[in-house]
Structure 1
Amino acid sequence: MLCWNVRGLNSAKRCLAVHEMIASTTCHIACLQETKLQSLDSTLARFLGAYKLNQFTFKPAQGTKGGILILWDDSTLDLQNIQIQRYSITATVTVRYNAASFMLTTIYGPSRRAEKENFLQHLRQIKPTPCTKWVVMGDFNIIYKARDKNNRNLNLRLMRLFRSALNYCELNEIHLQNRKYTWSNERRHPTLVRLDRFFCNEEWDTTFDDHVLHALSSGHSDHCPLLLAHATGPRRPSPFKFENFWVKLPRFQEVVQKAWSQQTPHTEPFHRLGHKLFTTARALRDWSRNLISDARLKLHMAQEVILRFDIAQESRSLSDAEYHLRANLKKRILGWAAIEKARRRQSSRVTYLREGDANTKFFHLKANARRRKNFIQRLKNGPGWAVSHQDKQTIVVDHFSNAMACPHERTRDFNWDALQLQNPDLTSLVDPFSELEILHAIKQLPSDKAPGPDGFTGNFFKSCWHIIKQDVVAAVNSFHSLRCADLNLLNKANIILIPKKEGAESIQDFRPISLIHAVAKIISKLLALRLAPFLNELVAPCQSAFIKGRAIHDNFLYVRNIARRFHRHKIPALLLKLDVSKAFDSVRWDYLLDLLQRRGFPSHWRNWIAAILTSSTSKILLNGIPSEAIQHGRGLRQGDPLSPLLFILAIDPLQRLLSVATDRGLLSKLGGRMMRFRVSMYADDAVIFIRPNRNDVQNLRKILHLFGETTGLTTNFQKTSVTPISCNNINLDDVLADLPMARATFPLKYLGLPLSIRRLKKIDFLPLLEKSLGRISGWHGRHLTQAGRICLTKSVLSSQPVYLLTAIRTTKKTLEDLDRVRKRFLWAGDEALTGGKCKVNWIRTCLPKENGGLGILNLECFARALRLRWLWHEWVSPQKPWVGTETPCDTTDRLLFAACTQITIGNGRRTSFWSSGWIGGCRPRDVAPNLFSISNCKRKTVAEALAGNTWIRDIHSNSHLTTTHLLEFCKLWEQVRNVRLLPDLEDQIHWKFTPSGTYTTASAYKAQFIGCTKAAMSNTIWRTWAPPKCKSFTWLITQNRVWTSDRLATRGWPHSPSCPLCRRVIESAHHLLSECRYTKKIWQLAAEWIGYPQLKPNRWRPSDSALSWWLNISTTAAVPKKAVRSLTMLISWEVWKERNNRVFNQKETPPTRLLEKVKAEATFWARAGAKNLASLIPQV
C-alpha cells in the first residue's frame, strides 16, 4: 500500500512523477491526497496507476484545495462499500487470493486550525464495529508527539485531542522504519514534521503481521510517500533456542541428564563442552517437538470439543464418559494455553510481566511490533538503495569487516611517565577460579535475555548446574591455565543491529550488539567480577560508568552546575559534547594490552585478555539471517560483560592528558574551586569545558586527534556539538573556524536529561509524558488483567520518571500529568477515564500496602525520597565531583533529611552548625529561627562556629534584638555550651530507618508515611497465595469498590433491584460475601468438603462490612490461616464470576456445580504452588 500527499495532479509533470513512483513499487493499492482535481477520467487514472492499478475511486477537490484518490489493482483486490466523506474515503478491501478482508480509510486532514477539532470528531465517527480489521493512512496535518516536530512551536491542546481520538478509535501507529519526519517546508533552515502516518487496530495487526513501513523519496512533493509492504527476504533459519518454560516441565532434567552423559570423542575441555552442548540442544529440540510443538493445535481442538459438550449439555445430561473427557480436556487446556503464552512471552522480550497478568494476544502483538521495528527493509548504498537481501548483506558484511579489521601499525604512544597514573596491587586477579566463584558468575547472568549462537540462556546453566558443572569447571580451569587453543570454538557471537535513532537508513545508523556464546560469556563474567572492585582506584572520579558507588546522575549534576556557574558569573566558556566514532568497536588491542601493562595488570591477566580478543569471531544477523563469520582484529564486543570495564580503562587517560595540558599552559585554566576537572565522562559520553579562544580550541583538537591515533578512539567532529556559555561579545565564527562542529543552545539533552542553565519549562518535560503515553498505546490494555495493569503501573509507568526525578525537581503540573496517565491506565486501560472507572481514590491507591493502598508510588513523595540521596552523599561521599555545588533539594527535602538522620559530632569539620540536625536530631536554625535570620555567617561548620564561640559574634549587632531573640539565644546556648569536639574522630551520620544506618530510597519513601493508619487487612491479602487478579479483586471488594447494585443505585445507573444470586435484598459487597443465601450454601458445602465445621456460616462472627467479614473469616480459630485465606479468595472470586454470569449472560449455576468449580480450581492452585491450600483440601 502506497500513501502520498502529491501536492497536486494539475500538471502533466506532476502526473508523470506519480506514474513513475507507482511504477517503481510493487504496491497493489495507492492512496493519494491533495490531488487538487475536481474531476478525473479513467484514462488519467490508469496512467497515474502505471497501468497496473486499473480501478479508482475519487473525492473531488474544493476549488484547488484537497482531493483524495484511491487506485487499486482489481486482479488482486476488491473494494466494496466505498464511503466518500468530508475528510476521508473509506472502503472494505478484500484480498482475492485468500479472501481476507479489512476496512481501509485514507485521510486528508485540514490545514486550518479551526477545522482540526471537527476532523478529529470525524475520525471518531468512522470507527468501525468491534472485531473489524481497520487500517488508516494519510496526511493528518496534525501531530500527537512533541518529537514529531523539529522545533518547540507546538499546540499541546490539539496534540492531546489527537491522542485522545486515537485512543478512542483503538489505533496504534505502525512504526516508520527509515524517517523521523515526512514533511518539510523546504526552507534553508526547514521546519520538519511527521504529518503522514499509518495506523491500524489490533485485529488488523494480528492478521497482517508480516509488514514493514518505510518512506520513499519525496520527489516533487514536500511530503514523503509511505510504502507499507510485506517484509521481503530469504526464509529465516530456525536455530536452537532454549525455552525458559522447559525447566518447569516433567522429564526436562531427565532429558538433559541423558544427553549430557553421552560419550564424546573429544578430550580437550573446550571441544568436549561444545560437543555436549550441541548434543543436549539436539535432544531438547526433539523432546520439545514431540511434547509441545503442536500445543496450539491441541489447544484449539480441545476448545472445539468442549464447546460441543457445552452445547450438548444445554439440552441433555452428559454421559459419564463425556463428563470425564470434558473435565480432562479442561485441565489440559490450562497447560497448553500456559505453554503457548510462555512461548509468546519469551519471543516478545517482555520481562516486566508474568504470564498470568496478560493474555497470549498481548505477547503476540508485542512480538509483532518488535519484529517490525527491527526489520531492515533497505539500506543506503552510495547514491542508491540496497533492497534485496544479498545486496543488504554485502553492505553489512563489508562495513563490519572493515570496522573489525586490524588497524594500521600504531605510530604514536603516550608519555606514560608524564601521565603519573596511580596503580593498585592487582596480583589477586589471577588467583585460581573456585567452583563457587564460577557458580556465582552464572547466577549473575540474566535468565531470559536473547541467547548467543549456542542457543542456551542463563536459565539452562542455573537449572542444570548439578549435571553440567564438571565440564564447565574443566573448561574454565583450562582457560585459567592458558590452554586456549580451542577457545575459538566457544568464543563466537551473533551480532544484531539496533537502530541508534528513528529513521535509520545507513549502516552507520545501527549499533552492533553481540549475542555471545554462553561459555564465553561465563568466562568474561568471571573476569569482570574480579576486576570490578579495583576500578574505583584505577579510574578517575570524572568517569562514572560501570563503577560501584558512582552514578550517571553525578556527571549530570556536575556538568549542569558548572554550566550554571559560568552563566551566573558571566564567565565565557564552551561546552563540548564529544562524539567518539564507533567507540567500543574501534579500541586498538595493542594499545589496550600496553595500557594494562602500564597499569600494573599481571602478565597472566593480559594473556587472558589477548586470548579472548584474538579468538573471537562474529556473524551478522540481518533480519534473522546470519552472514559468514568475521574474524575480529580490534574493538570490544558490546554485549560482553567484560567489555564496558575494559573500555573505561581505555578511555581513562584522556582526563590525564587534559590535566597535563592545562598544567603546561596548552589549555587555559577555568578557575574556581568547583571546577575539579574539565572533562566529565560516562563511558564514551564526554563533556569538555574550555575557554572560547582560538588557541585552546586548536590545542584541544590536536590533543583529541593524537589521543585517537594512539587508542583508536577517534573524535567525530561532525557529530560533536559545542554550546556557548556567556559568549555574547565573542566572535565564535573565528574561534571555531578550525572545528566543523554543530552549535547547540540550552536546553540540550545530556545523558538523556534536559540540561539547562535556567529553570526548565513545562514543555521541557513533555518528552517524559509522551514516553509514558507511548507505552500505554503499545500495551493493548484490554489484553491485560487488572493485576497486569497494576504490575505495569508499578514496574514501568511509575519507574519511568525515576531517572529524571532523581536529578531534576519537576513542576507540580508535570507530576499531576504523570498521575493522570497512570490513573487512566490502571483503571481504564485503553479507554477514556471516567468517574465510574476510577474505583478507588487516587491518594488512597498510592498508599503503601501496609497502609491500605495498592502500593503504587506516590510520585511526589518518591521524588523527594530520591532527592535525599544528594544530601546523604554530601555527607558520606565528599569526593564526588558535585559536592559543594547546588543540589536539586528544597527546604522540605532538607527538613525531612534532618528528621531521618542523627549526627554524632566528632571533630565538627563536616557538620553545618546551623543547617545540620546535630542537637538531639534538631537543627539550630529550627531551635532558634529568629537568631538564625540575623546571623552574618550561616555556612560555618560546627568546628568553626564553636571555636571561640564565633557563632555568637556572627549575630548582627545592629539588629533590633527582642525578648524572643534573647530566649532563643539562651535555649541554644544551653544546648551547645557543653559540646566537646574530638579532634581525631570524624563526624558520623546515621540513617534512622534502616538497620545498617545507611540511606535507601525505599526507607526514605516509607518514612513519609509514618503516622498513617496501618491497615489490618494488608498482610491477610497480599501475603496470601492466590493469582494476582484474585488478590486485586479481594482488595477492591474489601474497600467496597466493586459495582454492586447499591453503588450503582447511588449513581443513578441501571441496576438489579435485588441480589442476582438470592433475589431477596439489594446487593452490596457485604451481602454478596457473607449474607447472601447462595454464598452461604457454597460455604456450607465447602466446610463439609474440607472437614472444618468452624467455617460454616452459622459459626461466623458478626460483621458489618466486607472488610470486617474478611478479617473475621481469615482469622478463624483452629483453621490454618494462610490456607483459609486462599480458599476464601477462591470462593469469593467464583461467587463474583457467577454473579456476573447471571447479570450479563443470564446463565445460572447451582451451588453444587459451583462447588465443583471451586474444587477443580483449588486443585490447580495447589499444584501451582499453594502449599498451605494443598494441606487443607482433600486428595491433593
Structure 2
Amino acid sequence: FNELNFKHALHERVSLLLREEEIKWYQRAKVKNLLEGDANTKFFHLVANGKHRKVRIFTLDQEDGTITRTVEFDDIPQVSPQENDLLSAPFTVEEVRAAIFQMEHNKAPGPDGFPPEFYQIFWDWEMLAKYNKYRSICLLNVSFTIFTKLATNRIVKVAHKIIRASQTAFLPNIMEGAVVLHETLHELHRKNLNRVIFKIDFEKAYDKTLRMKGFSATWCNWIKSFVQGENVAVNVNGQNGSYFQTRKGLRQGDPLSPILFNTVVNMLAIIINRAKTEGKVNGVIPHLVEDGLSILQYVDDTVIFLDHDLEMAKNMKILLCVFEKLSDLKINFHKSEIFCFGQTKECENAYSELFGCKSGSFPFTYIGLPMYYRKLRNSDWRHIEERFEKRLIGWKGKLLSVGGRLVLINSVLSSLSMFMLSFFAISKGVLRKLEYFRSRFFWQNDLRRNTISLNGIRFVNLKNKGKPLYKLANEDGIWQRSLRNKYLKSEPLGGGVKRPGVSHFWTGLMDMKQEFLSLGSFSIGDGTQFRFWEDAWCGNRPLKFLYPSLFKTVRKKGATMADVMRSIPLNISFRRGLYGERLNAWNELVGRVMNLELREGSDVFNWGLNKTDVFTVRLMYKHLVNNGITVSPKIWQTKITLKTKIFMWYVKKGTLFTKDNLARRNWNGYQGCCFCSNNESI
C-alpha cells in the first residue's frame, strides 16, 4: 500500500514537472495565433517577418578620451535655490509610481531579468501568468532605470531655464528647429544673401556639466552616482563579458542621458551667444529672428550660421575648439559640411579649408528631414520609397490573413513616412507611389482589386498641418515669430496667402489653413489675431455668412477686430449706402458688437471638435477622413475580431467571389445558389 502511494506521488510529481515544462515552452514559443494572429503584437510582427532577428556585433572601435576640468561661466543661466530644493527633495511614492508607469511595455530586461511589466503589474496577483518573453540584450536593469526616470522627470521641470530656445532636443515641440532652419535656407536663397552655414558632426562622446548651471551638490552627487561607479558588462552575441565600473559618459537607453547631453551641448550656444554680444561673430536673418540666428541644435545635429567674413569664421573655429576642450565632446570636422549662399560661393574652398570640412550639397539631413531651400523633388522622396520596398521584401504577405496585412500596413508601413509627412506637403506623384506599395501588399498583386485605394497617407499629411497651425495661432516661439515676420507681417493668421516663391513648409500650411480655421473660433483678446468678417469669433460661423449683404459691400474685408473697434460705432466703410435689408443688418450687427470690449493679451483660437478647446491630431484626422470618404464606421468600430470586420467590409464593397461577381469576370459556371433556385449573390 505504501509502495502504491509512493508511485502515485511520483506520477503526480512527474505530471507537475511536465506541466511546468509545458508552461515554460509555451511562454517561450508564444503561440497565440488565435488571439494575436492579426493583432498588432510582437508575436504577430515576428511571424510576419518570417524569422527572429539576429543582431551580432563583430567589431568595436574605441578611442581614448581625456577629462578636462569644468570652467565657471558667470553669465550662464543657473538653477535657483527653490528649484534646487525641488530637485533635491526626497522622492515621493507618487513620483515613483509615475516614473514606473511611464515606461513602455515589451522593453528588454537587464541582467536581473525583470522587465518594466514586473514593477507595473507584479503586485496584482491575477497578472502573474501574463509575462511576455524576454529579449536577451539590454544595457540597464529596470530597477536602475526607475531612479534615472525619476531624475529625468524632475530635471525636465527646469530644463526650459537652462537650455536655450535654439536647442529643441528632448523638449516639447521637436519640429521647431526644423521649421526655423527650413525657413532660413529659403530666405537666404530667395534674397541671395551672402551667408555661410556650417553643419557640425559630433562624435558620440559624453561628459557632464552641472555645477556651472547652478545645480546643488546633492543633485550633482545623485547624477554622479547614476553615471559613475556602476557595474557594466558588454553583451556580445548572447554572452556577457566581465563586469567593469563606469567612470564617465552616459548610457544608451538611459532616460536621463538625453537631457544631460543637452545640458552639456547647450554650453556651445552660450559660448557663441557671448561671442556675438562682444561682436566676434554675427547672426543671420535678424529681420526674422531677434538678434539674428547663430546656432540651432538638436542633440548632435548642430547647425551654425555665419556672415560672409573670414575673420569671424576664424573666431567661430576657435570657439568650437574651446568647446571641445571644455566639454570633452569631440567635433568631427572631417565629417562636417559647409554650405555657402550668394557671393560666398566664390570663397567656399577657403571656408572649407578653414574648418577642415567638405562642401555639402542640398538637400542635407537635419533630425531625419531633408533640408532644401526649394520645394522637394520627387527624387528627394526616393529614400522613403526605398524604405517601403525594403520592408515589403521581408514580409510574407501570402502567409498572412487580410487582417494581418492591414495591421502591418497601418502599424509599420505607414509609420515609415510619418515624420516626413508631418513636415512637408506630399506631391501627387509620391502619394501615388506610396499608395501603390500599400495597395499592392494588401491585395497581394491582385491587379483587379488594386483600384480600391486604402487612402490614409493623404489624410495623414493634411492632419499633421493642423498642429503647427494651432501653435502658430496660439503660441509665441522662435519659429512662430520667424513665420509671422516673414509672411504675415502685421496680418492675422487668416490673412496669410500662398504666393509664388514661398517655402515648401508655408505652402503646406496655407493649403490646410482654411479647413483648419473652419473647425474652431477665436476668443477675443487684443483683437489683432483674427479677421472681423472672415474668421469665426461670434459663434461658430464667420460674420460674412451671418451678414452676407453687408460683407458684399464692405471696403476692407480683411480688417481685424482691433481695426473695427477703433472708432464708434464701428470703423467700417461700405461701397454703397445702407438702406432696407442692409440697414437692418447693420443695426443688428452694431447692437451685437457694441457691448464687446478688447482685453489685454493675445487672442486665442479655440478648437471646436472637443470640449477642452485644445487641438488634437486624432480629431483632425477623424474629421478629414469622415468628410473625404465613406469609411464604414459601424464596421470598423464594432468590437469584433478583425477578420470579421474585413469580411463585412468585403460584403459592403461587393468584392466577395460570389457567383454573380465571378460571372462579371467571364466565369461560365452554374450561377444558381446551392440552397435555393435563385442566382447566387450577396
What's 2:236 paired with? 622
Deviation string, structure 1 residues 93-128 (Cα, Å, up to 9, x no partner): xxxxxxxxxxxxxxxxxxxxxxxxxxxxxxxxxxxx
Which residue, 628, 646, 649 being the options, matches 1:1032? 646
Deviations 1:126-156 (A, max 9, x none): xxxxxxxxxxxxxxxxxxxxxxxxxxxxxxx
- Name the structure where strand makes up a greater proportion of residues: 1
Instruction: Specify the alignment match of 2:173 in structure 1.
Output: 550
Given the alignment of the two structures, is residue 452 of structure 1 paired with residue 116 of structure 2, yes or no? Answer: no
Deviation at 1:653, TM superposition (A): 2.2
Query: What amino acid does structure 2 have at the position aligned with 1:874?
Result: L
Q: What is the aligned partner in structure 1 of residue 460 from structure 2?
A: 862
Aligned to 1:571: 193
1:701/1:352 CA distance change after superposition, 3 Å = farther
| Structure 2 partner of 1:438 | 96
Does residue 537 of structure 1 match 2:161?
yes
1: distance between equivalents of 2:345 and 2:103? 55
Match for residue 681 of structure 2 among 1068, 1072, 1079: 1068
Q: 1:428 is matched with which residue? A: 86
Alpha carbons 1:909, 1:987 under 8 Å: kept: yes
**Structure 1 residues 466, 860: CA separation in 2 closer, same or farther (over 3 Å shift)?**
closer
Report SS of the residue matched to 1:672. Answer: coil
Gaps of 5+ in 1: 1-285, 296-334, 380-395, 468-493, 497-513, 847-856, 956-960, 1070-1180
Which amino acid in the other structure matches residue 445 of structure 1?
A: M
Paired with 2:568 and 2:269, the residues of 1 have a C-alpha distance of 43
Equivalent runs, 1:69-218 vs 2, <5 Å: none
Q: 1:375 aligns with which of 48, 56, 71?
A: 56
CA distance in 1 between partners of 2:286 and 2:552 (Å): 33
Structure 2 residue runs without a partner (length 5+): 1-16, 126-134, 488-505
Q: CA deviation at 1:1051?
A: 1.7
- Structure 2 Cα separation of the partners of residues 796 and 758 of structure 1: 30
Residues 767-787 of structure 1 show CA distances to partners (whole Å, capped at 9, x for unaligned) of 222222222222121222111
Partner of 1:689, secondary structure, is strand
> 1-side partners of 2:389 and 2:425: how far apart?
21
Deviations 1:626-666 (A, max 9, x none): 33334322111111111111111121222222111111000
**Contact 2:148/2:254 (<8 A) preserved:** yes
Match of 2:31 among 339, 358, 362: 339
**Cα pair distance change 1:756/1:951, threshold 3 Å:** farther
Q: Which has the higher contact order (CA 8 A, sep 6+)?
A: 2
Say whether 1:893 aligns with 2:624: no
Counterpart CA distance in 2 for 1:971 and 1:422 is 59
2:21 to 273, 285, 290: 290
Q: In the aligned structure 1, how far is the partner of 2:582 from the partner of 2:336?
A: 57
- Letter of the 1:978 counterpart: M
The aligned counterpart of 1:1091 is: none
Amino acid at match of 1:515: L
In 2, are the aligned partners of 1:1022 and 1:1031 still within 8 Å (CA)?
no
Within the candidate set 113, 120, 144, 1:462 is matched to: 120
Are residues 741 and 867 of structure 1, via their aligned partners in 2, closer, same or farther at CA, if it must alter by over 3 Å?
same
Whether 2:284 is the aligned partner of 1:670: answer yes
Distance change in 2, residues 1:572/1:823 (3 Å):
same
AA partner of residue 362 (structure 1)? A
When residues 289 and 665 of structure 1 are mapped into structure 2, their CA distance, relative to the original with a 3 A threshold, is farther
Give the 3 Å change call, closer, same or farther, for CA 637–914 of structure 1 in structure 2.
farther
Judge conservation of contact 2:167–2:298 (CA < 8 Å) in 1: yes
1:868 and 1:889 in contact (8 A); partners too: no
Matches within 5 A, 1:1053-1064: 1053=667, 1055-1059=669-673, 1062=675, 1064=677
Q: Alpha-carbon deviation of 1:375?
A: 3.0
- Give 1:682's aligned residue: 298
SS across alignment from 2:481: coil
**Alpha-carbon distance between aligned partners in 2 of 1:376 and 1:888, rounded to the nearest angstrom:** 45
Alignment counterpart, residue 273 of structure 2, candidates 639, 654, 659 = 659
Report the 3-state secondary structure (helix = DSSP H, G, I; strand = E; otherwise coil) of the residue aligned with 1:681. strand
CA contact (8 A) 2:203 2:329 kept: yes
Any conservation in 2 of the 1:909–1:941 contact (CA below 8 Å)?
Answer: yes
Query: Matched residue pairs, number?
Result: 627
Q: Is the 8 A contact 2:352 2:359 kept in 1?
A: no
What is the CA-CA distance between 1:1011 and the residue it aligns to? 6.1
In structure 1, the residue matched to 2:469 is: 871
Contact 2:635/2:645, CA 8 A, preserved across alignment: no
Tell me the residue number matched to 2:76. Answer: 419
The one-letter code of the counterpart of 2:206 is S
State the SS of the aligned residue for 1:586.
coil
Over 3 Å counting, the alpha-carbon distance change for 1:567 and 1:1067 in structure 2 is same
Q: 1:1009-1030 CA deviation, whole Å, 9 max, x = no partner? A: 5668988x844764334x3223
CA distance in 2, matches of 1:1055, 1:361: 38
In the alignment, which residue of structure 2 is the partner of 1:586?
206
C-alpha offsets along residues 897-942 of structure 1, whole Å, 9 cap, x if unaligned?
A: 221111121221333557643354455788688779x86x96x753
1:1000 equivalenced with 2:616 (yes/no): yes
Instruction: Provide Cα deviations, 1:853-888, integer angstroms capped at 9, x if missing partner.
Output: xxxx2x223322210212110122212434341634
Of structures 1 and 2, the larger Rg is shown by 1
Structure 1 residue 1052: Cα displacement: 1.2
Q: Tell me whether 1046-1055 or 709-718 shows the greater mean CA deviation.
A: 1046-1055
Could you tell me which amino acid in structure 2 is paired with residue 1068 of structure 1? Answer: S
Q: Report the CA distance shift for 1:729/1:963 in structure 2 as closer, same or farther (over 3 A).
A: farther
For residues 728-750 of structure 1, give each alpha carbon's deviation from its aligned partner in whole angstroms, at most 9, with x where no partner exists. 56422234432111111222222
Output the CA distance in 2 between the equivalents of 1:422 and 1:973: 58
Q: 1:520 to 1:1040 in 2, by over 3 A?
A: same
Paired residues of 1:898 and 1:923 also in contact (CA < 8 A): no
Match status 1:644 vs 2:258? yes
Q: Secondary structure at the match of 1:796?
A: helix
> Which secondary structure state, in structure 1, belongs to the residue aligned with residue 31 of structure 2?
helix
SS at match of 2:605: strand
| Cα separation, 2, equivalents of 1:558 and 1:951 | 39
What's the CA shift string for 1:417-439, capped at 9, x where partnerless? 13355657231223333334323
Q: Tell me: CA distance 1:1021–1:823, structure 2 relative to 1, closer, same or farther (3 Å).
A: closer
Conservation of the 8 A alpha-carbon contact between 2:466 and 2:512: yes
Note the 1:1071-1082 alignment, pairs <5 A.
none
**Contact map agreement 2:364 2:372 (CA 8 A) in 1:** yes
Aligned partner of 1:909: which letter? T
* AA matched with 1:569: K
1:325-364 aligned at under 5 Å gives the runs 338-339=30-31, 352-353=40-41, 355=43, 361-363=47-49
Q: Does 1:833 align with 2:443?
A: no
What amino acid does structure 1 have at the position aligned with 2:419?
Y
**Aligned ranges 1:372-411 → 2 under 5 Å:** 374-376=55-57, 379=59, 396=60, 399-400=61-62, 403=64, 407-410=66-69
Give yes or no for contact 1:867–1:888 (8 Å, CA) kept in 2. no
The residue type paired with residue 873 of structure 1 is: K
**Aligned-partner residue type, residue 604 of structure 1:** T
1:715 matches 2:331? yes
Whether contact under 8 Å (2:67, 2:328) holds in the other structure is no
Instruction: Give the percent of matched residue pairs that are identical in Structure 1 and Structure 2.
Output: 22
CA deviations on 1:587-619 (whole Å, 9 max, x unpaired) are 2x4xx2xx2x34343332222111122222322
Please give the per-residue CA displacement for 1:962-999, whole angstroms capped at 9, x wherever unaligned. 899x9999978974763743333542221110121111
1:634–1:890 CA distance, 2 compared to 1 (3 A): closer
